[in-house]
Structure 1
Amino acid sequence: MKKEENEDIIETRKYIRSRWSAALNYPIKGDKYALPYPFVPPCINGDFHVLFYWDTFYTNRGMIADGYFEYAKYNVDNLIFALNKLGFVPNAYSENLIKWVSQPPYLHFMVKDIYEYSHDEEWLRQAYFALKKEYDFWMKERIAKNGLNRHFHNKLTIKDLCEYYDYVAIERLGLTTDIETKEKAELGENYCADAEAGLDFTPRFLDRGIHINPVDLNANLYGMELDLSSYAKKFEPELESIYLNKAKERKEKMDRLMLKEDGLYYDYDFDNGKIFREDYCFSGQFMPFITGLTQNKEGVKKLLSRLSFKYGITSTQKDEKEKIEYQAAYPFSWPYDNYLAYWGLKELGLEKEAKEVGMRWLINLSSTYKKTGKLWETYDPFNGGRAKKKEYPANEMMGWTAGGFSAICNDLGIGCK
């Protein structure tokens, strides 16, 4: 790393540290949807000014690294509040968003981070019983006929689904709205699945998301089952083996249905009984390495060969047949793409490769911050700088951009106090 690049990274981290307090939102008294604690949303200003679900994991990792543990705990306590109130964690806690979908169930990762810092057994007990509720939601409301999980939506009317399709068609993807109601509703359902996956919107599922067992969702739930087993040992010993056996059963199914000889798990089409999109790679395939489903280093090297570029990791591999520019896809690079790759490589013990992936992203973000004075949500992994995408303009971002940046800096010992 060049001296100037190191200095730019340090300056960017200083900026992030100085802005966490400005990012903290306080609940509005009397608001029907007020959260009980302050929270840190994705943006200080701009469109994303409520508490989102899976974004918060990345935000929290950075805040803990930067000395703002209390803020991270506020966020998790708010998510637990939403879970206990609604029976699931919504993709965002606001009046117009709670009815639609959840998001990737990262709460168990966040609970682990808080507990490993605080060692608060009573807090963990309460969090454990909340996580059991979330697990039940996914196993009852998002279960496919083969026993693995899928993304779907909450109870919605045909009118809701058609309106959602119209929103996606007009505001995001530039599609026609002149189609039959049945087709609109079906596509609306599948766009809901994209949104619940946190990938609104993506070509990965080819508008068939409700018929797919996603790799990352099921690998994530495998990790949740292991965590629940570990916590049950403390608080409900009779359930320890039950959760552990559920994890073993999930791994057996995933190995049988989704794992290929190249060492990677692929999305599974449970309606047609086969792997969906043979040989199609995406950043969600790093999740099995994170939760310990596999330690196949050849598989992760294949992923890097498809997704890793000079300034970052792309969401998906390039698909020459794709005619629509989706934002959760090639050629764009998001915080989660880069952090998942970095995290997966670290879990495999591939420290050199993890550092290379992390440094490319840090250099891109810090050089862009130097030019613009801001952090952004999406970046150009080929030429560097802020991404120029069509679905909606790249937002000025704290949230998961800042969080992922500081977390990786902390791991690599850059800009530490």
Structure 2
Amino acid sequence: MRRKLFWFFWLLMGWTPALRAQDQAACRVTLPAAERIAAVEAYIHKSWDSLTRSHRDLLQAVQDPKLEHAPGTPWVLYIAATEDSLAVWNQLQQALPDTGLRQITLRVLPKDPIAQLDVIRPHGLLYLPEPYVVPGGRFNEMYGWDSYFIVIGLLHSGRVDLAKAMTDNHLYQVRHYGKVLNANRTYYLTRSQPPFLSAMVLAVYEHTRDRDWLAAAVPLVERYYAYWTQPPHLAGETGLSRYYDLGEGPAPEVVSGERDVQGRTHYDRVREYFRTHEVTAYEVSLYYVAETDSLTPLFYKGDRSMRESGFDPSNRYGPFSVDIIHYAPVDLNALLYRMEQDVARMHALLGDSAAARQWHNRAEVRRARVDRYLWDPEKGLYFDYNFRTGRRSDYVFATTFYPLWVGMASPEQAARVAANLYLLEAPGGLLTSTHISGSQWDAPYGWAPLYLIAVEGLRRYGYHEAADRLTAKFVSMVTEDFERTGVLLEKYDVVQRRSDVALRFGYTSNEIGFGWTNAVFLALLAQMD
């Protein structure tokens, strides 16, 4: 019913889902005038500084809008057990005045912080040695996949040192925590985010050509790859990988920070949904007990794992995506293919042709498995695969462009995906999905990172007209909204071409900043030159 209402809404807006090539030509949007674009670019270049966190402004960085904090009590900064706490404290003393130091307490994490997460109280910021850029708003820490797009934006802005510093922070996390973290807060220690680390490293290397730095990065990238390719991140017997958070129970930042105007948490709204809706996308008893109106431990595992995917939330894996733990996702496995190819290139750059061949071979094995499980030759799209049921999903999602972005699609597959762009194209560019669910990673919303991946994927296979059209739609939408609001935001309603959002699930705000929107705006424009 919701899907029918969605397309009816489109018809009212004067659009149809069948936006074929002949219609697309008539619906082209041009780039705004140069002076209008320049105003947005000026905002972006200024915002890099306001979004940067370093030791000098640590007191600003430790503050967390997502959790409650008792006034007058110190903020806690945690460091890894494998770090030199005395050296860290000496660095902070040199960077911060005494008044700032008195408001911060330094604590050392347990040697196995995930196993002892229950004793880490209160939650706090995790120390990072280098400056970094935060997304903005309630996201006042360095995030995993956000950072790739921010790094690209910084490189387009000529901020190579800051881009390298952010990449060094990600390598630091792998060294001390075994993975790139969702973000540098203690409640994120149990999970990562979509793996863009190898792409970050190579993007920075293209500007620095520092072979010693690259050589030091390779074993850490390989260690991070192992996080994704060993249990529990394996997707059944497919040979592919899945998202899987290592923690248990409700996510602390969700309980505290994702409340509606009535004070209900995201989990309260989920329980209400289960009480009042029939769910057929998965076996609901795995996640909800009707007799006690309670969410099961497996629900929280799925909820946390959905957050590791970065798409929090959508209905891509059924309501609230909690069934994600039973899927091999398109995006994750495409990114791992890119990581395998990236590491092969790193070894080739460093003169180790044998290691490069091994990594190329891994990539080819993954490509064959993606073709087997995730490619739908009838629909001409990539879909996630449920290894529990042995069936592919039919949920149309913008991650279908990831295989084009990483270059694992054949020319024929790319042509089929490009021909199906009309399913997701909207007045403001690219819908995240074709479904309205009340969640932010579904229709009618669009997100900057998915634009960049789709546009670059289309360009890679020669579909420049479609890429230019999506770019013009995104840039014009963001520019027009900037002229109304004075800011860039996290997400946009790409049907209405505005930043106004009306969400039912997850956090319901639209955050100002915004790191990856800034970055993608610059990157897409650069490709139009």
TM-score w.r.t. length of structure 1: 0.90
Measured after TM superposition, the shift of residue 7 of structure 1 is 2.7
The residue number in structure 1 matching 2:434 is: 317
What is the identity, as a one-letter code, of the residue corresponding to 2:520? Answer: G
The residue number in structure 2 matching 1:38 is: 131
Measured after TM superposition, the shift of residue 22 of structure 1 is 2.2
The residue number in structure 1 matching 2:95 is: none
1:53 matches 2:144 = yes
Tell whether the 8 Å contact from 2:179 to 2:224 is kept in structure 1 after alignment: yes
- Consecutive unaligned residues of structure 2, counting only runs of 5 or more, are 1-28, 59-91, 93-104, 108-125, 276-287
Q: Aligned residues, how many?
A: 401
User: After superposition, where does 1:6-25 map in structure 2 within 5 Å?
Assistant: 6-25=34-53
1:395 matches 2:395 = no
Instruction: After superposition, give the CA deviation of every residue in 1:78-108 in whole Å (9 maximum; x if it has no partner).
Output: 011011110011100112222x311000111
Measured after TM superposition, the shift of residue 263 of structure 1 is 3.5
C-alpha separation between the residues in 1 aligned to 2:458 and 2:418?
Answer: 9
Partner SS for 2:375: coil
Tell whether the 8 Å contact from 1:162 to 1:184 is kept in structure 2 after alignment: no
Structure 1 residue corresponding to 2:265, chosen from 171, 193, 206: 171
The residue number in structure 1 matching 2:400 is: 285
Instruction: Classify 1:165/1:292 alpha carbon distance in 2 versus 1 (closer, same or farther; 3 Å).
Output: same
Tell whether the 8 Å contact from 2:398 to 2:431 is kept in structure 1 after alignment: yes
Tell whether the 8 Å contact from 2:428 to 2:496 is kept in structure 1 after alignment: yes
What is the identity, as a one-letter code, of the residue corresponding to 2:147? Answer: T
User: After superposition, where does 1:173-252 map in structure 2 within 5 Å?
Assistant: 174-176=269-271, 180=289, 183-206=295-318, 207-233=322-348, 234=350, 236-252=352-368
Instruction: Classify 1:310/1:288 alpha carbon distance in 2 versus 1 (closer, same or farther; 3 Å).
Output: same
What is the identity, as a one-letter code, of the residue corresponding to 1:213? Answer: A
Partner SS for 2:376: coil
C-alpha separation between the residues in 2 aligned to 1:373 and 1:165?
Answer: 29
The residue number in structure 2 matching 1:344 is: 457
Measured after TM superposition, the shift of residue 239 of structure 1 is 2.3
C-alpha separation between the residues in 1 aligned to 2:239 and 2:491?
Answer: 35
RMSD: 2.2
Question: RCO higher in 1 or 2 (8 Å CA, sep ≥ 6)?
Answer: 1
What is the identity, as a one-letter code, of the residue corresponding to 2:242? Answer: R
C-alpha separation between the residues in 2 aligned to 1:36 and 1:303?
Answer: 45
Tell whether the 8 Å contact from 2:135 to 2:146 is kept in structure 1 after alignment: yes
Greater strand fraction, Structure 1 or Structure 2: 2
The residue number in structure 2 matching 1:333 is: 446
Structure 1 residue corresponding to 2:218, chosen from 128, 135, 152: 128
Measured after TM superposition, the shift of residue 369 of structure 1 is 0.8
User: After superposition, where does 1:130-149 map in structure 2 within 5 Å?
Assistant: 130-141=220-231, 142-145=233-236, 146-149=238-241
User: After superposition, where does 1:256-271 map in structure 2 within 5 Å?
Assistant: 256-261=372-377, 262-271=379-388
Measured after TM superposition, the shift of residue 340 of structure 1 is 1.6
1:105 matches 2:195 = yes
Instruction: After superposition, give the CA deviation of every residue in 1:111-157 in whole Å (9 maximum; x if it has no partner).
Output: 11001111111111111111000011111141122211000111x34
Tell whether the 8 Å contact from 1:165 to 1:187 is kept in structure 2 after alignment: no
C-alpha separation between the residues in 2 aligned to 1:385 and 1:19?
Answer: 21
Tell whether the 8 Å contact from 1:215 to 1:267 is kept in structure 2 after alignment: yes
Instruction: Classify 1:406/1:137 alpha carbon distance in 2 versus 1 (closer, same or farther; 3 Å).
Output: same
Instruction: Classify 1:172/1:334 alpha carbon distance in 2 versus 1 (closer, same or farther; 3 Å).
Output: farther
Measured after TM superposition, the shift of residue 235 of structure 1 is 5.6
Tell whether the 8 Å contact from 1:283 to 1:340 is kept in structure 2 after alignment: no
What is the identity, as a one-letter code, of the residue corresponding to 1:36? Answer: P
Tell whether the 8 Å contact from 2:187 to 2:252 is kept in structure 1 after alignment: no
Tell whether the 8 Å contact from 1:162 to 1:185 is kept in structure 2 after alignment: no
Measured after TM superposition, the shift of residue 336 of structure 1 is 1.6
1:152 matches 2:267 = no
C-alpha separation between the residues in 1 aligned to 2:42 and 2:216?
Answer: 35
What is the identity, as a one-letter code, of the residue corresponding to 2:430? Answer: I
Give the % identical residues: 25
Partner SS for 2:467: helix
Measured after TM superposition, the shift of residue 334 of structure 1 is 1.0
Measured after TM superposition, the shift of residue 13 of structure 1 is 0.9
- Consecutive unaligned residues of structure 1, counting only runs of 5 or more, are none
Measured after TM superposition, the shift of residue 18 of structure 1 is 2.3
User: Is the deviation greater in 161-170 or in 246-255?
Assistant: 161-170
Measured after TM superposition, the shift of residue 9 of structure 1 is 1.6
Instruction: Classify 1:363/1:384 alpha carbon distance in 2 versus 1 (closer, same or farther; 3 Å).
Output: same
What is the identity, as a one-letter code, of the residue corresponding to 1:60? Answer: V
C-alpha separation between the residues in 2 aligned to 1:238 and 1:304?
Answer: 39
Instruction: Classify 1:107/1:230 alpha carbon distance in 2 versus 1 (closer, same or farther; 3 Å).
Output: same
C-alpha separation between the residues in 1 aligned to 2:469 and 2:298?
Answer: 42
C-alpha separation between the residues in 2 aligned to 1:375 and 1:184?
Answer: 38
Measured after TM superposition, the shift of residue 223 of structure 1 is 0.9
User: Is the deviation greater in 337-346 or in 218-227?
Assistant: 337-346
Partner SS for 2:355: helix
Structure 1 residue corresponding to 2:178, chosen from 52, 73, 87: 87
Partner SS for 1:176: helix
Tell whether the 8 Å contact from 2:432 to 2:443 is kept in structure 1 after alignment: yes
